[in-house]
Amino acid sequence: MDVVALVPAAGRGERLGYGMPKALVPVLGEPLLLRAVRGLIGSGCVHHAIVAAPPDAVEEVRAAVAPAGGAVHVVPGGSQRTESVRCALAESARVVPDAAVVLVHDAARAFTPASVIREVVCAVRDGADAVVPVLPVADTIKQVDADDRVTVTVDRARLRSVQTPQGFTPEVLHEAYAAVGDAATDDAGLVERLGRTVATVSGHPQALKITTAFDLAIAEAVLAEPFPGRDRP
């Protein structure tokens, strides 16, 4: 049964500061979005990708992602990530009505190893309603008050940093998006609000979100220079 990936790519990339949608920013000659979609399809377990593009750059995004092949659809996204995912989800119901698994994967996490994508898909196929890849938190975490004074040092043993792709059964993701009130910072958050269980699998440092120019420099270094433990994105 088919796996469809929704790829929110409609962000402006303000923090990256390239003056163009982040999805179109080239990394060693190829746009971030193309790398992200190739990574999904190349994992061998994703059959269709639905990309949410900035509404004023749909044709540019279509051209950028064309080399990835035929199973990729591009729709206009929204002004918030949640809205962009909603647009892609609606298109996926039209294009792949019988999908068995729906992934949501940030275009900005373009270097996610195939092993992470496969693990997320397998976890949903094995019966989970919702799955997120996570990493332990490496820094000490402190909470501050309104004046930025530390109020408490949080026990980090049970904290996890969350990546994408996040995986869902289509029924659960549709239910979560039908119920959504306020926007959420990730899709699993909407499923949590339904009271459903969200499972975790191991994330990977290479699945970092390209947010700033520093992140991009790290990604370029990883692509250029193999290091112990590097996984192919």
Ligand X SMILES: C[C@](O)(CO)[C@H](O)COP(=O)(O)O
Ligand Y SMILES: Nc1ccn([C@@H]2O[C@H](COP(=O)(O)OP(=O)(O)OP(=O)(O)O)[C@@H](O)[C@H]2O)c(=O)n1
Would you tell me which residues interact with ligand Y (CB under 6 A)?
Answer: 8-16, 22-23, 52, 77-81, 84, 106-108, 209, 211
Least distance (Å) from ligand Y to the CB of residue 110?
9
For residues 88 to 127, the per-residue mask of contacts with ligand X, x marking binding by CB under 6 A and - elsewhere, is ------------------x---------------------
Residue 14 or 171: the one with the smaller Cβ distance to ligand Y is 14
CA angle 215, 217, 219 (to 5 degrees): 70
Could you say which residues in the range 166-195 bind ligand X, by CB under 6 A? Answer: 185-186
Q: What is the C-alpha to C-alpha distance for residues 228 and 211, in angstroms, rounded to an integer?
A: 24
Nearest approach in angstroms of CB 199 to ligand X is 15
The residues near 130 (Cβ < 8 Å, ≥ 6 apart) are: 124, 166, 167, 168, 169, 172, 173, 188, 191, 196, 197, 198, 199
Identity of the residue, 83 or 192, whose beta carbon is nearer to ligand Y in the bound complex? 83
Minimum Å gap between C-beta 121 and ligand Y is: 20
Residue 39 near residue 110, CB atoms below 8 Å:
yes
Q: Which of 22, 38, 73, 81 binds ligand X (CB under 6 A)?
A: 81
Q: Give the CA distances from residue 141 to residues 169, 187, 233, in Å, rounded to whole numbers and listed in that order.
A: 33, 24, 29
Terminal C-alpha separation, the chain: 24
Nearest-angstrom CA–CA distance, 177 and 110? 24
Q: Which positions ≥6 away from 147 have C-beta within 8 Å?
A: none
10 binds, among ligand Y, ligand X, none (CB under 5 to 8 A by kind): ligand Y
Q: Work out what residue 77 binds among ligand Y, ligand X, none; the CB cut-off runs from 5 to 8 Å by kind.
A: ligand Y
Using CA atoms, how far apart are residues 193 and 203, in angstroms rounded to an integer? 23
* Closer of 11 and 170 to ligand X (Cβ): 11
Pairing type for strands 141-144 and 150-154 reads antiparallel
Using CB distances below 5 to 8 A depending on partner kind, what does residue 39 bind out of ligand X, ligand Y, none? none
The distance of closest approach from Cβ of residue 99 to ligand X in the complex, given in angstroms and rounded to an integer, is 20
Q: Which residues of this protein are in contact with ligand X, per CB under 6 A?
A: 81, 106, 162-164, 185-186, 209
